[in-house]
């Protein structure tokens, strides 16, 4: 799951706006007042409810008892981590008290997820996004609940100040922020009990109102308004999510570029004493929508032949691929990607994987900032059409010319190959955990550890390819900003080798809304309880079919084992007769419908082991190719 925004786009056209801390808002908005009623209470820190442990004596039983008491009594992140890390004790407890094991794993996973979140996100804005994504965890449900939890555990004391800032506590707000809230009748007393969601929404409303006041997204009418638009965007940017930020930056960039091009066009026409094109320029200057103005400007620049300005104006007009053009580009990527990644560690891994799995790459529009995504439901990798457009803009190519230009196509595939490695790594992960019982309707199981693995392989791929080919090295350098490249560079490869924990923080900074593996497991256990009650009949049908197949001849059993409908087809399982489903998929379905939810714990352990193995492989290769000595 690749995400990124052009951080430098914001003020690249006009070097007008100084750096500013996000969140200073202008005067208020009456529309804000109704949201106060949406406040969520402080939540509960009650210990787990349920049967008390009646454990046998012995080392495993004693350890389980101690973990259980500590997790329940103090909600200790240290105890939660110990419980999750001790596989032997967890296995003992699962055998002796499955229900209690499930409940304790549920609680410990949530606490470990929060502990990792506090440790990972040093920046309050990123921590805020991460905490919002973890709203379902009891201790993260409100600012009051999390701060109480932090205060109850001395090991969490170092994180209190950043949590306070992330929660937008009144005393951490700047004077101008407090003034904006007070102008909307939100005083310190009213603010104190509000949930993080409500506080965030308050600032979002104020931010949107501030942007509207400066005609944001429209062409600035003068230099002062251009500066003001940039300043307000700088002040409000961090209250929006990643996709919203990307859209806002794109809008600002187009507005500023259009403003500049209008001025350049007028200067050019005046120098040429061209009166015939002046009416067209006047029409362009009357537009408020950058797209409309750029369309008119492209006609002017075409006729006066100003090469650099003509190119800039033309490429900023959005191009749209036809279905046939998307299909043509997709075919090229599918046919050439293996040759592109060959000779690298990732290439060898993926060659083995795709020997037994179909490769499907599509090019489609994707909303927001994503460069590409792996789509588990349809088992395919989707590249955002926007990336192709960006490449065309930088090269000054039309879609038609691009699809006929072999050199351009091969440069494009070279630039997106690291992202392919990233997303294809996710595909291998999802297939591996689906074989361990992950339900086919899961859709996504993107965990921070999985992102760290994909990121590690991507960083290594860039280093290997750049050392194999000077052309690729120069392409990666030239295309870094164009491709939203935050994932390359020798420094990052060295960081991975020298400081694994800091490297993981560096990775996860881009994925604040993705839960950690314990959090994912916890969420599945939580939602699974309701689903399990509804699926008793399904479990019975699956068990009956598996019993029937056991009575078949050995040859028939072998044929059923891996032939038939697989896990992906179970996304529409009601439409597939059970007799058509291969036995291995049925066995997995039985496991994820099992009341003990064993598959969750096995996937948890598998992904931990997998990441450690991958990390060692990547670090060894980094040393082999000479990045570190």
Q: Which stretch of DSSP H or E encloses residue 562?
A: helix 554-562
pLDDT at 494 over 70: yes
Residues 445 and 575 in one domain: no
Region 386-408: mean pLDDT is: 89
Average pLDDT (175-192) is: 87
Evaluate if residue 547 carries a pLDDT over 60: yes
Least confident piece of the model among 245-254, 309-318, 355-364: 309-318
β pairing state of 380-384 and 361-364: parallel
Examine the fold and report which residue of 315, 340, 374 is the final residue of a domain before the chain moves on: 315
Mean pLDDT of 532-540: 70
- Give the mean pLDDT of the chain: 79
Instruction: Give the pLDDT score at 48.
Output: 35
Q: Which of 181, 185, 240 is nearest to 211 (CA)?
A: 240
Residues 343 and 478 grouped into a single domain: yes
Q: Are residues 390 and 474 in the same domain?
A: yes
Q: Mean per-residue pLDDT for 167-174?
A: 86
Copy the structure tokens of residue 324.
């046939």
One domain, residues 355 and 490: yes
Percent over 70 (pLDDT), the chain: 79
The pLDDT tens digits of the residues spanning 50-72 come to 344 444 444 556 676 777 777 76
Return the higher-pLDDT residue of 87 and 15: 87
Residue 587 lies in a domain: yes
Residue 17: the pLDDT is 33
The answer to whether residues 230 and 16 touch, using CB atoms and an 8 Å cutoff, is yes
Using the predicted structure, report yes or no on whether residue 444 has a pLDDT greater than 80. Answer: no
Higher pLDDT, 5 or 533: 533
Q: Which residues contact 132 (CB under 8 A, 6 or more apart)?
A: 196, 197, 200, 513
- Our CA angle for 376, 380, 382, nearest 5°, is 105
Question: Tokens representing 19?
Answer: 């750096």
Q: Is residue 346 in some structural domain? A: yes
pLDDT for 417: 95
Q: In degrees, to the nearest 5, what angle opens at C-alpha 309 toward C-alphas 264 and 371?
A: 120
Is 196 part of a structural domain of the chain? no
Does a structural domain hold residue 236?
A: no
**Number of domains the chain contains:** 4
Q: What percent of the chain has pLDDT over 90?
A: 21
Q: What pLDDT score was predicted for residue 10?
A: 32
Asked whether residue 522 falls in the same domain as residue 502, the answer is no
Q: What is d(CA 149, CA 154) in angstroms, rounded to the nearest whole number?
A: 10
pLDDT band at 419 (very low <50, low <70, confident <90, very high): very high
User: Quick one: pLDDT band at residue 6, thresholds 50, 70, 90?
Assistant: very low
DSSP calls for 163-195: HHHHTT-GGGS-HHHHHHHHTTT--HHHHTT--
Work out the pLDDT band at 77, boundaries 50, 70, 90: confident
Residue 223 token pair:
């230099």
Same domain, 401 and 487: yes
DSSP character string of 461-517: HHHHHHHH-HHHHHHHHHTTTTTT--S--HHHHHHHHH-HHHHHHHHHTT-TTSPPH
Categorize the per-residue pLDDT at 567 as very low, low, confident or very high, splitting at 50, 70 and 90.
low
Strand order in the sheet with 361-364: 361-364, 380-384, 372-375
Least confident range of 106-120, 306-320, 340-354, 528-542: 306-320
3-state helix, strand, coil in the chain (%, to 5): 70, 0, 30
Distance CA 545, CA 542 (A): 5
Residues 533 and 445 in one domain: no
Q: What is the pLDDT of residue 534?
A: 63
- pLDDT on residue 576: 63
pLDDT score of 428 = 94
59-63, 278-282, 367-371, 512-516: segment of lowest average pLDDT? 59-63
Measured CA to CA, the distance from residue 299 to residue 309 in angstroms comes to 12
Question: 137 and 71: one domain?
Answer: yes
Query: Is there a domain that residue 535 lies in?
Result: yes
Q: Pairing relation of β-strands 372-375 and 380-384?
A: antiparallel
- Supply the pLDDT for residue 629: 52
565: in domain? yes
The DSSP call for residue 361 is E
Q: Is the model's pLDDT at 311 over the cut of 70?
A: no
pLDDT: which is higher, 32 or 123: 123
Q: Report CA Rg, the chain.
A: 28
Say if 52 falls within a structural domain.
no
> How far is 439 from 525, CA to CA, in rounded Å?
12
- Is residue 474's pLDDT more than 80? yes
Out of 280, 295, 315, a domain closes at 315
Q: Looking at the structure, do residues 463 and 354 belong to the same domain, yes or no? A: yes
Q: Are residues 493 and 534 in the same domain?
A: no
The reported pLDDT for the residue numbered 38 is: 35
Name the more confident of 481 and 460.
460
β-partners of residue 362 are 382
pLDDT number for residue 324: 96
Phi and psi at 212, nearest 5°, equal -60, -40
pLDDT digits (tens, 9 = 90+) for 38-54: 333 333 333 333 344 44
Written as one string, the DSSP assignment of 323-334 is: HHHHHHHHHHHH
Q: Are residues 587 and 441 part of one domain?
A: no
The two counts, helices (H) then strands (E), for the chain are 29, 3
| Cα angle: 270, vertex 274, 279; to 5 degrees | 95
Work out the pLDDT band at 331, boundaries 50, 70, 90: very high
Q: Where is the domain boundary, 150, 172, 194?
A: 172
pLDDT at 359: 95
Written as six digits, the tokens of 410 are 């091969």
Domain around 107: 59-172
Q: What integer pLDDT is reported at residue 128 of this predicted model? A: 87
The rounded Cα 174 to chain-centroid distance in angstroms is 29
Q: Is the pLDDT of residue 241 over 80?
A: no
Whether 473 and 340 map to the same domain: the answer is yes
pLDDT at 537: 74
Lowest mean pLDDT among 308-312, 527-531, 598-602: 308-312
Average pLDDT over every residue of 296-300: 83
First-to-last C-alpha distance (Å) of the chain: 32
Residue 433 lies in a domain: yes
How far out from the chain centre does Cα 68 lie?
A: 33
């Amino acid at each position: 799951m690749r995400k990124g925004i052009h951080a430098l786009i914001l003020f690249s056209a006009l070097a007008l706006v100084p750096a500013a801390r996000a969140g200073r808002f202008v005067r208020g908005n009456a529309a804000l007042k109704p949201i106060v009623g949406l406040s969520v209470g402080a939540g509960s820190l009650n210990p787990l409810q349920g049967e008390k442990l009646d454990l046998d004596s012995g080392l495993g039983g004693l350890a389980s008892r101690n973990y259980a008491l500590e997790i329940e009594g103090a909600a200790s992140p240290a105890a939660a981590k110990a419980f999750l890390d001790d596989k032997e004790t967890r296995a003992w407890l699962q055998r002796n008290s499955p229900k209690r094991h499930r409940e304790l794993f549920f609680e410990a996973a949530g606490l470990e997820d929060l502990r990792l979140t506090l440790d990972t996100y040093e920046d309050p804005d990123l921590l805020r996004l991460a905490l919002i994504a973890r709203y379902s965890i009891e201790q993260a449900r409100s600012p009051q609940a999390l701060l109480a939890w932090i205060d109850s555990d001395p090991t969490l004391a170092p994180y209190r100040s950043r949590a306070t800032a992330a929660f937008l506590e009144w005393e951490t707000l700047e004077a101008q922020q407090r003034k904006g809230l007070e102008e909307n009748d939100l005083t310190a007393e009213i603010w104190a009990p509000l949930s993080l969601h409500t506080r965030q929404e308050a600032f979002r409303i104020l931010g949107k109102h501030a942007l509207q006041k400066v005609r944001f997204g429209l062409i600035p009418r003068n230099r002062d308004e251009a500066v003001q638009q940039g300043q307000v965007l700088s002040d409000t940017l961090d209250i929006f999510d990643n996709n919203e930020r990307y859209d806002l930056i794109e809008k600002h960039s187009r507005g500023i570029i259009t403003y500049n091009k209008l001025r350049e066009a007028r200067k050019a026409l005046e120098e040429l004493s061209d009166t015939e094109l002046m009416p067209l320029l006047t029409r362009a200057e009357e537009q408020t929508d950058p797209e409309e103005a750029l369309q008119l400007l492209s006609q002017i620049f075409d006729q006066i032949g100003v090469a650099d300005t003509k190119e800039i104006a033309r490429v900023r007009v959005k191009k749209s691929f036809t279905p046939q053009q998307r299909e043509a580009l997709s075919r090229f990527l599918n046919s050439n990607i293996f040759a592109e990644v060959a000779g690298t560690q990732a290439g060898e891994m993926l060659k083995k994987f795709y020997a037994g799995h179909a490769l499907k790459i599509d090019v489609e529009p994707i909303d927001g900032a994503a460069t590409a995504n792996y789509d588990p439901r349809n088992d395919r990798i989707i590249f955002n059409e926007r990336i192709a457009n960006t490449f065309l803009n930088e090269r000054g190519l039309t879609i038609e010319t691009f699809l006929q230009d072999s050199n351009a196509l091969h440069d494009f595939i070279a630039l997106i190959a690291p992202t392919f490695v990233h997303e294809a790594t996710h595909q291998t992960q999802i297939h591996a955990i689906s074989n361990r019982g992950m339900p086919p309707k899961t859709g996504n199981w993107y965990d921070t550890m999985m992102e760290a693995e994909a990121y590690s392989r991507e960083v290594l791929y860039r280093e290997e390819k750049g050392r194999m080919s000077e052309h690729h090295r120069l392409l990666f350098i030239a295309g870094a900003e164009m491709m939203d490249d935050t994932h390359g560079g020798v420094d990052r490869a060295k960081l991975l080798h020298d400081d694994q924990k800091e490297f993981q923080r560096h990775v996860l900074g881009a994925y604040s809304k993705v839960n950690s593996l314990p959090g994912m497991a916890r969420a599945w256990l939580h939602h699974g309880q309701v689903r399990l009650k509804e699926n008793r009949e399904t479990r019975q049908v699956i068990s009956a079919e598996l019993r029937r197949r056991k009575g078949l001849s050995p040859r028939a059993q072998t044929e059923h084992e891996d032939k038939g409908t697989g896990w992906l087809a179970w996304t529409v399982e009601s439409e597939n007769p059970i007799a058509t489903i291969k036995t291995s998929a049925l066995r997995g379905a039985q496991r994820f419908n099992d009341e003990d939810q064993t598959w969750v714990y096995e996937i948890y352990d598998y992904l931990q082991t997998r990441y450690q193995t991958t990390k060692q492989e990547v670090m060894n290769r980094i040393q082999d190719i000479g990045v570190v000595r």
